[in-house]
Structures are given as C-alpha cells and as structure tokens.
Amino acid sequence: MAKGKKIKKGKNWKKFWKLGIDEFNTQFFGISKDGAMTMTEGHHVYNVADLAKKYGTPLQVIFPSIIEFRLKDLIGYFNAYIKIYGYKGKFFYHYPMKVNQNKEFILPLLSEGANLEVTSANELWIVKKLWEGEKFHTKLRVLCNGPKSDPYLDLIEELRSKGMNIVPIIEGPEEIERLSKYKGDIGLRVDLNIKADTHWDKKFDRFGLSEKEVLDLPKMKNLKMMHYHLGSQIKTQKSILDGLKHAFSIYAELTKTHPNLETLDIGGGFGVPYEKKKFYTAKGVSSKIIKLLKHLSDKAGIRHPNLAIEWGQYIVAPSQVTIYKVISEKNIPKANAKAWYIVDGSFMNDLKDTWAIHQKWHVVPANNMTSNKTKRVWLAGSTCDSDDKYTEGGNYIMMPQIEEGDTQLVAILDTGAYQDALASRHCLLAPPVKIVAQDGTIKIARKRESSESIAKLFGWNGEK
C-alpha cells in the first residue's frame, strides 16, 4: 500500500469484497494485512498478488485443495442423506470431463473418488492413458455420452474388452442397434419434455431419445441406466426437483419393460453463485433429491434406483482464479462506469463465456483491497475487438482508484469451469500462464507461450 492513502479503520473489507463466505464458495479466500487477496489451504497461505508479481500476468491459479474439498463435501452430503432417509440405492459421482480436462483438475477428482463422464473420443483417449498408467481404481466407471463416431465406438469397445467399467449412453436412434449388442452395461439419454430454468432453449433440444422413443424401445437386457441432462447453471432448486420428478415417471415406466434398469443419472446443471447473491445449496438440494426419490419409488413400488450425478461446474468453477494487470485507464464521459480499466489479457480469449453467454463473474482487486478510494469501472481486454470487455451487464465493477505509478491487479473468481477448452488466441494474444498452488508450493503447469510457438499454430514454421 502506497503512503498517503486513506484507510477507514474498521471497515470489513472481506465482507465488502464477498470473500470468506461459505455460500458464495469464497470461504478459502481472504485479505492480507497489506490488502492483497489470499487463499488459505490448511496452514498454508498463498498471497495471490505476490504470485501475480512473481509469475506474471495474465495468470491462472489452480487450487486443487478446493476441488478436493468440494467433491468430498458433496459425496458426504449424499451418503449422509441416504443413511438418514434409509434409502436403498447407491450414490455415484461422475465428473463430466468437458467442464475442465486439465490434468491438474482430473487427478485430484480421481483421488477423491470421482467416476468419469466423457463426451468425445479424445476425452476418452485421456481416460485410456490414465487407465494404462494405472492412475485409477479398476472399479471406476466411465460413462460415454455424445454422438458416437466410429473411432469413439471403437475405443469404447477396446477399453471394455480390456476390462474397463465403461458404459456407453445411447444418444440417438441409430445407436440403439449397435449398442444393444454391446457386451457390457449400457444407458440411454432421454430428452425430457420439460423446460428447466436455464438460459438453454429447450424447445430445440437435439440430445438423446424422445420420451416416446424411450418407452417404445425393444427389450435390451444390458440397459442399466437412464440419463438426462437439463442444461447448465440451473437457476432454481425447483427446476432441479421438477426435472427429477418428471424423469422418474419415465424411469418407473421403463422398469416395467426393462427390469434390469438400476440407475437414474440426473446429469449436470447445478449452479454456481457467480453473482454472489442468494442461491440454493448442495446440502439442501441433496437432501431433497434423496427424500423425493425415496418417496416416488416407494409410491411406484419399485426398487430405489442408484443415483448418479454429473455436476461439473459446481465442483470445479470455484477452484481457479484468473488474474490480470491493468495496463491502461481511459475515462468514460457518460455511463454507469467512470473509466475503462484495460487489462493485459482478454475476456474474449481467456474467459470466453463473458462474450458467448454474457457470463457474470465475481471480480475483485487482487491488491489494494483495503483502499478507500474506489472507482466504478468497466474492464476491457487487450484484443482490438470491441466485444472484448466486461461491464457486468452494463452496470459497473468496483475497483480501487489507480494512483500514479501504482500497479493494479484484477482477480476474476470461479473461472475453473469451461473457459479453458473454449479459450482462443484472437489477435494472437498468449493465454494466461497456469500455475498450481498445493501443499504450500507452486508448480508451473503451463508456461507462457512465446511468439514463436503461437506463430507455429498458424503455420509459421521458422520462416526467415
């Protein structure tokens, strides 16, 4: 903190920046004495501003301990409610790999007991490598969603023949015949005829079999699982439970022709409170799901189904922070915000959903967090694209005023879901450096790309 800045004594800055709050998933984040953002892992404390200074910006910091904590917590809730309500089915967590395929995410999830769900042959190839390296338990189950290209189906068959517990999920009518001959368990995906409260327009869904197709299916002895997925970032608990109720009615009907059916997979979609407003909780929803499933299956007189869930975003989003440095400030004459803070990375490249689905983020300064002189700003990236900006939906972001000669860092929280595989290199900006903070040490997971390595991606192979 530079001299001369006024600090109002006693202000609860942690609360002001919404850090240290369980229901916002910021319980591990805080503020150091000198106003820097911190992350606490057991007895270790990481100073995020120092990390940005040491490793440079743009920077992504992954905290595997948060991933582990969140999964352990979630599995704990479900298993506890299963016991409390005397539910007879088992609980299975499947991590949907598409949410973040980075090794630094997958390995901690496996160590906490996650099963996997993949969507493509290339994701499955990673699973194959893990399998060959004996990186997971032989009982781990892999669900295969998405349309099955021939290479994808071939790899599924290959891994099954090697003894992997791998379950393809029928995605369309043309897969029924081939998969009914599959020598292991299979599942199917049903396109539920209801609309969940997400931004996804279900009217034009193209995933899975229609409810009618499901109920008209020929008998398949190996059909063990019925799966559905309502969409991502479901806004209300009611939507989750309404979807479950509706899906259960189809599940119960299907068990009449398919008595081997044993698992209901309710997919992903559990939301993250990106905007730090009141939100439903995993504790509350897990209790309601088990209670509802018990009630419905007892009423229908069928065996309590095993429950599989694929909540991806919920588990991994809060475990990564993206940090930028402000490199320029420009006044805005007439708007909700007074100035643009232009940062040294790109929202359009590194946090693609900012542009694609108008994602809102939890944005805080990573230093000067206790400065009383704040300013309403909009943030802009360094590409030449007018869409490369973050304005909190035309509202504003609160940031410290920048004193002459001072460096201002901006931290974007909850960036661990989806952004990495969607990322791009518009204007050939380099993506953030990726570091992993665990057990009190820092490991560089991905170095900064050089001009040469970026140019190579576009065919420039060492021309003179």
Ligand X SMILES: *Cc1c(COP(=O)(O)O)cnc(C)c1O
Is 229 a binder of ligand X (CB under 6 A)?
Answer: yes
Map residues 100-119 to x or -, x wherever contact with ligand X holds by CB under 6 A. -----------------x--
Is 123 a binder of ligand X (CB under 6 A)?
Answer: no
Is 243 a binder of ligand X (CB under 6 A)?
Answer: no
Instruction: CB nearer to ligand X: give 130 or 190.
Output: 190
Judge whether 327 and 410 are in contact, CB under 8 Å.
no
Binding residue for ligand X, selected from 262, 310, 344, 414, defined by CB under 6 A: 310
Closest CA to 381 of 418, 426, 332: 426
Category of 368 on φ-ψ map: left (φ > 0), alpha (ψ -120 to 50) or beta: left
How many whole angstroms separate alpha carbon 148 and alpha carbon 156?
10
Shortest distance, CB of residue 95 to ligand X, whole angstroms?
Answer: 9
Q: By CB under 6 A, which span of 105-113, 311-319, 342-350, 352-360 interacts with ligand X?
A: 311-319
Shortest distance, CB of residue 115 to ligand X, whole angstroms?
Answer: 12
Q: Identify how many contiguous H helices and E strands the chain contains and give both numbers.
A: 15, 22
Shortest distance, CB of residue 450 to ligand X, whole angstroms?
Answer: 33
Give 359-362's long-range contacts (Cβ < 8 A, gap of 24+).
Answer: 359/274, 360/274, 360/275, 360/392, 360/393, 361/274, 361/390, 361/412, 361/413, 361/414, 361/415, 362/18, 362/24, 362/26, 362/274, 362/275, 362/276, 362/412, 362/413, 362/414
Is 392 a binder of ligand X (CB under 6 A)?
Answer: no
How many whole angstroms separate alpha carbon 264 and alpha carbon 241?
14
Question: Rounded to whole angstroms, what are the CA distances from 195 to 121, 201, 226, 239?
Answer: 30, 8, 19, 8
Shortest distance, CB of residue 420 to ligand X, whole angstroms?
Answer: 13
| Paired strand residues for 58 | none
Question: Rounded to whole angstroms, what are the CA distances from 332 to 185, 254, 326, 371, 375?
Answer: 60, 60, 16, 22, 12
Binding residue for ligand X, selected from 145, 239, 415, 419, defined by CB under 6 A: 145
**3 state DSSP class of 399:** strand
Instruction: CB nearer to ligand X: give 312 or 431.
Output: 312
Shortest distance, CB of residue 193 to ligand X, whole angstroms?
Answer: 17
Is 141 a binder of ligand X (CB under 6 A)?
Answer: no
Shortest distance, CB of residue 41 to ligand X, whole angstroms?
Answer: 24
Is 273 a binder of ligand X (CB under 6 A)?
Answer: no
Is 152 a binder of ligand X (CB under 6 A)?
Answer: no
Q: What is the DSSP letter of 251?
A: H
Is 96 a binder of ligand X (CB under 6 A)?
Answer: yes
Give the H or E element holding residue 150: helix 150-161
Residue 406, C-beta contacts closer than 8 angstroms, at least 6 positions apart: 2, 368
Residue 346 has a CB neighbour count (10 Å cut-off) of: 29
Judge whether 443 and 434 are in contact, CB under 8 Å.
no
Is 267 a binder of ligand X (CB under 6 A)?
Answer: yes
Shortest distance, CB of residue 93 to ligand X, whole angstroms?
Answer: 11
| Paired strand residues for 93 | 309
Closest-approach residue to ligand X (CB):
268
Is 318 a binder of ligand X (CB under 6 A)?
Answer: no
Is 38 a binder of ligand X (CB under 6 A)?
Answer: no
Is 289 a binder of ligand X (CB under 6 A)?
Answer: no
Is 98 a binder of ligand X (CB under 6 A)?
Answer: yes
Binding residue for ligand X, selected from 17, 29, 81, 270, defined by CB under 6 A: 270
Residues in binding contact with ligand X, number by CB under 6 A: 16
- What is the distance, to the nearest Å, from the Cα of residue 217 to the centroid of all Cα atoms in its chain? 34
Binding residue for ligand X, selected from 25, 232, 359, 419, defined by CB under 6 A: 232
Binding residue for ligand X, selected from 35, 58, 269, 318, defined by CB under 6 A: 269
Is 305 a binder of ligand X (CB under 6 A)?
Answer: no
Q: By CB under 6 A, which span of 266-274, 352-360, 427-435, 453-461 interacts with ligand X?
A: 266-274
Map residues 346-385 to x or -, x wherever contact with ligand X holds by CB under 6 A. ----------------------------------------
Binding residue for ligand X, selected from 268, 318, 365, 381, defined by CB under 6 A: 268
Question: Rounded to whole angstroms, what are the CA distances from 161 to 109, 121, 144, 175, 184?
Answer: 25, 16, 15, 19, 9
**3 state DSSP class of 182:** coil
Residues lying near ligand X in the complex (CB under 6 A) are found at: 96, 98-99, 117, 145, 229, 232, 267-270, 310-314
